[in-house]
């Protein structure tokens, strides 16, 4: 039986290539690397969008970026799902959205509630959830702060805050900062090697959760 995983995230999941002002090749995006590593019997659906937040509106955006608003639709269109991998929160830290860790934690909590309360079709089990703490933001090569006013210190709080939430809610947890570091060009986005590293590192945790 094929097991289906949805990778729900922002530009780090979509594959923004800040070095070339484009998008990473399909095979370099972390959901693609994860799928290749899991092999036959698993399908990974990539649902990444640049600027997506956990649960906050961004009225400066050209499309809906509030993850809590679109997640129910995606659960419905892609179900049945065995696992939802969520890597979000970096965009919550924009200075005009939620510049403290409390926003991403509240938003991630809401996403967990949505996954677990959605009225799935008869016979479909509620998917498991793997929370992934995003890589830390870094200082730009020029010495400036990361784009959009994100605070370096707050981005380092993702792992402990999300790990505590995962333990409290019975979700899986992985810290992407242990394997990936953003480019100094904007302090947020990843080069191809660091993007691939996340997919490679998630193979083990995902296999363990899927049994």
Distances (CA, A) of 77 to 73, 122, 123: 6, 15, 16
Identify any residues that bridge with 44 across adjacent strands, giving them in sequence order.
5
Q: What torsion, rounded to 10 degrees, do the Cα atoms 22, 23, 24, 29 define? A: 160
Q: Per the structure, how many domains does the chain have?
A: 1
Q: What is the pLDDT of residues 10-46, one digit of tens each?
A: 999 999 999 999 999 999 999 999 999 999 999 999 9
Instruction: Write down the pLDDT at residue 1.
Output: 83
Q: Domain residues for 105?
A: 3-210
- Is the predicted pLDDT of residue 210 greater than 80, yes or no? yes
Distance CA 61, CA 160 (A): 30
Instruction: Write down the pLDDT at residue 43.
Output: 98
Q: What is the pLDDT of residues 100-136, one digit of tens each?
A: 999 999 999 999 999 999 999 987 899 999 999 999 9
Instruction: Write down the pLDDT at residue 186.
Output: 94
The domain spanning residue 107 has which CATH number? Answer: 3.40.50.1110
End-to-end C-alpha distance for the chain, whole angstroms: 13
């Amino acid at each position: 039986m094929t097991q289906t995983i949805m990778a729900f995230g922002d530009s780090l999941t979509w594959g923004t290539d800040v070095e070339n002002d484009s998008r990473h090749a399909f095979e370099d995006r972390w959901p693609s690397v994860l799928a290749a590593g899991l092999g036959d019997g698993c399908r990974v659906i990539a649902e990444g969008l640049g600027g997506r937040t956990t649960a906050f509106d961004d009225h400066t955006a050209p499309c809906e970026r509030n993850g809590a608003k679109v997640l129910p639709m995606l659960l419905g269109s892609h179900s049945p799902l065995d696992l939802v991998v969520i890597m979000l929160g970096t965009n919550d830290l924009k200075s005009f959205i939620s510049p403290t860790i409390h926003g991403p934690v509240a938003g991630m909590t809401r996403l967990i509630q949505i996954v677990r309360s959605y009225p799935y079709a008869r016979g479909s089990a509620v998917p498991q959830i793997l929370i992934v703490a995003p890589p830390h933001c870094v200082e730009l090569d020029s010495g400036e702060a990361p784009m959009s006013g994100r605070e370096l210190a707050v981005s380092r709080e993702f792992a402990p805050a999300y790990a505590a939430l995962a333990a409290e809610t019975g979700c899986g947890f992985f810290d992407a900062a242990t394997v990936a570091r953003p480019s100094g060009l904007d302090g947020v986005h990843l080069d191809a090697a660091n993007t691939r590293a996340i997919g490679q590192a998630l193979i083990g945790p995902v296999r363990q959760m899927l049994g």
